[in-house]
Structures are given as C-alpha cells and as structure tokens.
Chains A and B, each alone.
Chain A
Amino acid sequence: MAGEKRSRLHQLFKFSAIIFVMVVVLALLNWLPLLLQKNRLQRFGSVEAARKVLHMQTIYLPTYIPENLNLAWPPADIYAQDTPFSACIMHFTFRDSRQIGLMIQQVDSKAPYGLEPLLKIKEKKSVNSVTVKNRKALLVSAVCDQDIPCNQLSWDEDSTTITLTGKIPARDIIRIAASMLPDK
C-alpha cells in the first residue's frame, strides 16, 4: 500500500516536472519571434526605451496633467510596435488605485486594423467637434466599463491618429491633448 502510494507520488512528480519543462519551452518559443523581429508589439519600461528600440520618430507625450485628476506619472504601461504598423499605447493609472484613468493611443492612420483599447466605451452619450490647437478633433462623451463616465478625444496628426480616452472630465482631456501638441 505504502509502495503504491510512493509510486503514485513519483508519477505525479514526473508528470509535474515534464509539464514544467514544457511550459519553459513554450515561453522560449513565444520569446523567440521577438528576438527575430525586434519591432513587434512589446512592453517598454520607458518612452525613451521605446524610441530607442523602435526608432520611432515621434511619440506624443503630455506635458501637463492636472494635479486634481490624481493620475500617476510616468505612464504605468507603455506598449509599442513598428510592425506591421506603427503604434504606441500608454496607460496612466490613478495614484490611489491600479485602475487606468487615461489611455493615450497613437496609431498609424493607414493601419489595416486597430488595437482594441483596454479602456472600452460601453455607451456613447454625445459626439461633438472641438478644436485643439487649430486641429479639428472629435470629442465623445460616454460611459465606460463599470458604468463610469468617460470621454474620448481623437484627431489626425500628420499620418498618425491620436486617441485619448479617460475617466476624466472633457475639459481636462482637451487640456492634456493640447499639451501634447506643438503650435500650428
């Protein structure tokens, strides 16, 4: 009986060990394409690192974030790619929680498909045209996940579509957007 129990435990150990090896092999196989093609979508520790690895000419960054919004600086997550099209996504979280408060997405205007945002609009309430530093932009007031009111502002800057989505007031999202742009 004890021998059989020991044998069963040995089998379980053998199974677990092989599964562990298999998981390591899978992780290696998942990492290998990034080694072969460095400009695929990946996470970066800083905007500078993304610029350096992907040779991105322009990453639009806000120079002003209202203090009262309680958003942490620098962005909590930065994801960027240069292949199959140029894209950069930044997540700014609230200081008191890990929840995303603002998301800045800049994607090649000719991209064949979009990158589904993490901050999703559940229901649009109103759509208005606004001007941000002489650029025509579209402001969407909406309800996001967990029924939290949110706003989205998007416009085309050269050959890039910039989209800001945040659980913050419309006035603040316009101010943040303006701080990202040079005068025109």
Chain B
Amino acid sequence: MTFIHTVAGAYITQSVLHAFMALILVEISFYAWDIDDHLSMFRYRILTLGLPIIMFPLFQVISPDRGSWYFRLTTALFDSQRWLDLKVAGIFPLAIAFLGMLAAFSLLFVLQEIVPIFWGRQVSRGVGDYEETHEYDARMQALLESICTPLRIEKPLFLVINETFPILFTQGFRRHTVIISDHLLMTLDDEHLRAALTHEVVHMLRSSSLKTPMIYLLRMLMFYNPVSLVEFRRIVHDDEFICDAIAVSITGKPEALITALSAFYYHHDPSGPDEPEGGLSQMKERVESHSHNLILDERVEKLQHALRADTSGFRPVPFVITASVIITTGYLVV
C-alpha cells in the first residue's frame, strides 16, 4: 500500500484536486454569470481557498464508504487513483511524479514565505528599526482628519518613517496605525496623498489587516497546494482592487489615486546590488519588480474605467449555485 492509498495521502490528493476543480468552476462562474467586480471575485476565490480544506473530512463524515473501491468504481465521476497508479513505461508510477510536484511546491512555500520571515527578523535585529521623523506630523493629522471626520470613524494612528522608498501600509487589528515613508510625503501633494490615505482607511474599515492573516492561514494549511499559492495572491490583489474602488467612491477622484499609485512603481537600478548584471538575485528582483508593476498597471487601468464602468455587484444566488456545484463535484471526485 503506497502513501496515496492512506487517509493522509487521500486527503492531500483530493484537496489538490478539489482546489483545482474549484478554481475551474470559479473561473467558469466569472464567465457565465458575467462577474467582473472584485468584491464578488474576492468572495468566490475564498471558496477555492477554503472549501478544499474541509471537503474531504466533511465527505468522510457524511459517507464513510466514499473512499472504498466500490464508490470509486460505481459512483465517482473521477477516481484519482486510476491515474496515480498508472506506471510510465511499466516502472515509474505517476503517483511519484505527483508527490514530487507537491514536494516542490512545499519547498517553494518554505523558501518564499517562511525563510524570509526569519531572515527579515535577523536583518531587523542587526540593522535596527526604521528611524522616525515628525516633521510631517501636522500634515498627516490634517489629512487623516479630513478623511475620517466625514466618514465618522476614529482617526488611525500614524508613523512617518525616514525611508527613500515609497512605503504605505496599515497595521494593527483594533487600533490601526498607518505607516508611511517620508519619501511619499515629499513626492505627493495633498490631493494625491489624500487619495492614497483614503485607500488605507478603507483597508482599515474592511479589517484587511485581520482578514489577510486569516486568509494566509488557509493558504498555509495548504502549503503543498499550487492552486492555493495562486489563489492567495489573487485574493490579496482583489482586496487592493476593492479598496481602490471604495476609495474612489469616497473621494470621487480616480485620477488622484492613479497619480498616487504611480509613485509605487519599481524602477530597476542596475547599479544597486553588488551582484553582477544577470545574477540570480538581480533576476529575481527584476521578476518581482515586473510583477509588482503589472499589478499596478492593472489597478491604474481599472481606475481609469472606474467612473464609466458598470460593475455587476455581488449576487448571492449565483454564489450559492457555484458553491453547491463545487461541493457536489468535489464529492464525486475521489
């Protein structure tokens, strides 16, 4: 009996298959139900990330015989073991290739997401934290006041740091703090800065700093799953699109947010790192910069169409239908 025939093996195999099925079904839903707004997309993608975690144990409780040979042969729509037990050239089981692929994604998860956490800690311990600056405090106070007072919400705390890069994010769960680099305060005028800060206030209103770690937890539970890797990033991007749309609906000035976003583009500096041109870390940096800029491009493009776009809005009936189809097909995919 190989690993894939054990309960743990079945869970891993089926969770990947269920996530893949959910991904396809969600994309079909976007097309069939004409879904183009990021709030709906965000909710549908949570299905892709969350349902595969619970589907296998849920199905086993409802129907303990679901994993039996009889169910696989007579009821299942797709039996993964038929493929995984196949041997290439009569020697090499496909299960090995499948598990190898999952091991590669697990390694990628460790290198890309776990190692940087510890590495970042070491670096910050060695170098020390960012230096604070207070010369922009009055301006920040005034801008946040102008955003929060009409919305009748508590003004968040803020921290201006001395940094030559554009940095702007919100942290904290109950009492939020906006972290901003003085570079941005020097680059952007009040109108553009108000647009950018409104975006952060929307994050605060949507509890993004609470939601994102929870979504990340789902992604961590499926560390081996390539679909979770992709969907987690898409969900995080969706959240940015949602906050952009809400921020623009508050300020009524998409152009201001577009200009603010333009300040966040990465520009490759070949004289920067010590590594020679074409080195591995430079290539990695270029790929990351490119993907970061592509997302900014997409956000800018969405904002350019913000005022004339007729978004579909979230509709619960198609959502429930899609979730039901994901669960039903998941039950029949073993």
A and B interact physically: yes
What residues of chain A have their CB less than 8 Å away from a CB belonging to chain B? 11-12, 14-15, 18-19, 22-23, 26-27, 29-30, 33-34, 36-37, 40-43, 79, 83-84, 112-113, 115-116, 118
- CB pairs A–B below 8 angstroms (29 shown): A11-B32, A11-B34, A11-B318, A15-B29, A15-B32, A15-B33, A15-B318, A18-B31, A19-B25, A19-B325, A22-B24, A23-B329, A26-B329, A26-B333, A27-B77, A27-B78, A29-B83, A30-B77, A33-B82, A37-B86, A40-B82, A41-B69, A41-B73, A42-B73, A43-B74, A112-B1, A115-B69, A116-B69, A116-B70
What residues of chain B have their CB less than 8 Å away from a CB belonging to chain A? 1, 5, 24-25, 28-29, 31-34, 65, 68-70, 73-74, 76-79, 82-83, 85-86, 318, 321, 325, 329, 333
B76 to chain A, nearest CB (A): 7
In the complex the two chains form, is A33's CB within 8 Å of B86's CB?
yes
Q: Which residues of B contact A15 (CB under 8 A)?
A: 28-29, 32-33, 318, 321
Q: Which residues of B contact A36 (CB under 8 A)?
A: 86
- Measured in the bound complex, the distance between the Cα atoms of B34 and A93 in whole Å is 51
Q: Which residues of A contact B1 (CB under 8 A)?
A: 112-113
- Measured in the bound complex, the distance between the Cα atoms of B86 and A36 in whole Å is 8
B78 to chain A, nearest CB (A): 5
Q: Which residues of B contact A83 (CB under 8 A)?
A: 85
Q: Assuming the A-B contacts A11-B318, A26-B333, A112-B1, are A118 and B70 also in contact, with contact meaning beta carbons closer than 8 angstroms in the complex? A: yes
Q: Which residues of A contact B32 (CB under 8 A)?
A: 11, 14-15, 18
Q: Which residues of A contact B34 (CB under 8 A)?
A: 11
In the complex the two chains form, is A113's CB within 8 Å of B5's CB?
yes
Return the chain A residue nearest B35 by Cβ: A11
Inter-chain pairs besides A19-B25, A116-B68, 6 sampled, C-beta below 8 Å: A14-B31, A15-B29, A15-B33, A18-B31, A43-B73, A43-B74
B18 to chain A, nearest CB (A): 13
